[in-house]
Amino acid sequence: MPHVMISSKKCTGCHQCELACSAYHENGFRPSVARLWAEVNPTTGAIKGHTCLQTGCSKCQEACPQDAIVTREITVKVKGDFPGREKLGDTVTGYVLVVDEEKCTNCGECYDVCPTDVIHEHPDKEVAFKCDLCGGEPQCIAFCQNPYVLAVDLKVDKMDKEPVPA
């Protein structure tokens, strides 16, 4: 299923993905509330990407006692050039996990189980926030569509779990 990955080898640590992500979701540039992040060790130069694997993981959904993490159908169309395009074509359809803010009680069960540390409590409203692939046009990839770097990419994994459409 479609999800975003950061190549730790290619990533230069510019954080444009976090900036674009937050501008799209938070009405301004606020990388501390981005849905993905590049962890950069300034001394060694090592980089670890943190992104949501969506339905390929689903641990947040399984942990949620309120059924507030819902599976939605999505068509992903990525702006610009990216390495996955050759294999995936111009659009990819699949499923994405999104937070139903009506149901979410901010209980924190999902925060503890996320293996990539990308679902958190929103600092301004008492609900969880996570990657929703920008509704189909991921801004993180658009702003890493840098032909020099191309570190943030769309990947599609085979499903190992049956999707549960909302």
Minimum distance from residue 92 beta carbon to another protein (Å): 20
d(CA 129, CA 58): 15
- Mapping DSSP to helix (H, G, I), strand (E, B) and coil, where does residue 56 land? helix
**Positive or negative, the Cα torsion across 108, 64, 66, 99?**
positive
Q: What residue type is assigned to position 47 of the chain?
A: I
Q: Which of 2, 3, 4, 26 binds another protein (CB under 8 A)?
A: 26
Query: Restricting to residues 65-84, which ones interact with another protein according to CB under 8 A?
Result: 79-80
The tokens of 33 are what?
Answer: 């509330």
The tokens of 4 are what?
Answer: 């975003």
Q: Which of 1, 20, 118, 131 binds another protein (CB under 8 A)?
A: 20
Q: Which residue's CB is nearer to another protein, number 37 or number 95? A: 37
Q: Which residue's CB is nearer to another protein, number 78 or number 97? A: 78
Q: Which residue's CB is nearer to another protein, number 21 or number 97? A: 21
Q: Which residue is it, tokens 């149901």?
A: 103
Query: Restricting to residues 112-151, which ones interact with another protein according to CB under 8 A?
Result: 123, 139, 142-143, 145-149
**Other Cβ atoms within 10 Å of 143 Cβ, number:** 21
- Mapping DSSP to helix (H, G, I), strand (E, B) and coil, where does residue 86 land? helix
Minimum distance from residue 59 beta carbon to another protein (Å): 24
Applying CB under 8 A, the residues found at the interface with another protein are 12-16, 19-20, 22-24, 26-33, 42-43, 45, 79-80, 123, 139, 142-143, 145-149
